[in-house]
Structure 1
């Protein structure tokens, strides 16, 4: 049993198939298949049930998958601690960011970081919040930008707190209001982000508290497209204030959303008991220099 075999098995489970896993680990499909078979022979039990084009974990596979994730994360920590010996003259910043808001928040920080630490390589991973948490748990990234509240097992440093803004078509009857809540929008179709975006959960939870069942008419992971859909009259959307103002144009109206517990409060998180490399600590120090909240027009 070796780490390469374990990595191949974990990626087969994570990616949902042998061919997809082969692309991730840069091996041939037959090599990945052989690695899983070797692992099964060493453990003396089947780990996967092959159901057509799908692979389902057996009971032994569940145990092997869980333990393999721990071993791979420990190996990642080992490499990180050894890299500490080199200090910030060499190393890697492995950071996971969500597609929503990362450009506005972090683009300038990346430029500043590069100027301060030109020899640090940056490995950027972009996913929705659910997948980013998994990457963090499995040691694939050292830091991940997540929305509060942060799950147990992670430490975190707040980065930015922005209220949500309702994005309405210009001809919507509520465009003249100073602020609105979800009861005001009960009859309006909603345009939400794709599944896996934590902002959706905040919006839907707030609707449930108000007894509102939203009618979702479209989903997208692209802010520009969401704003265009609103301008075309397809429905209403909700964006953090700084993003709403950045994407403002003539076809939409922005109205403050008076809903508690819906703020877009983003933080940088890391595993509580894991080693945090100097490159990641330097990123946290840089993030601490940024304002935690923006002005009304930001």
Structure 2
């Protein structure tokens, strides 16, 4: 029986563990050829001697699939270029880029260091942009050369990026940026045959379990029955978004948890009052009060 993504070439970043690993295995199970990217970093981004990408590639090959390891730093410009080149040189093409890699350096904003901010924003936000940029350049060249392109980018935002999360200001800001980058890229790349969507997943990974407290308790595996927090629950939507069936879906952010899929509705034009002239600051108190009374109540920030 043929798979949903038979023959498509897929790059998955941060695919050595957790959700990324689940994505790589799910794509391979549906017939894709997979570039498994991972640098083997620790939860805080520090270097380790582990090689989880090789283990994932071995699993895929043992099941009869095709896969190759890539160990480039996705937030490094040349590393991101080599990641895309690995797919093209190994399998002759690229059809899907799944940006997933990331790590945490949690701290309240008042105590966060410049380095903790820079490192998280670099890996998450630049680590999405750099592979996206090099993949987009490849697809644009293919399109201009007259070769058909039916490509996909799936980014990874977070509930923290959509609603905020106490103690994760660097992570939340980067993930919010990824959500907007998704909308931006979808608009810019549509003429080249590329769709761009994002997911905001909730699953049990090293990052969520390591958070401790109520979050860790909520993420714990059940003793029996459906494990709603298993990383594997996130991948079916990502595989579908990477398939040819999803060609009409772009610029969207989907929240995914267990068996639940939600279309996130972000910034929209809300209630408006137009004076037709410049406001006097003293006039605006009751105006703002009226607008807020008519507006939807914001989602609460995680941890409040």
TM-score (norm 2): 0.23
Rg larger in structure? 1
Q: TM-score, normalised by structure 1?
A: 0.23
Give the structure with the higher percent strand: 1
Higher relative contact order (CA 8 A, sep 6+): 1
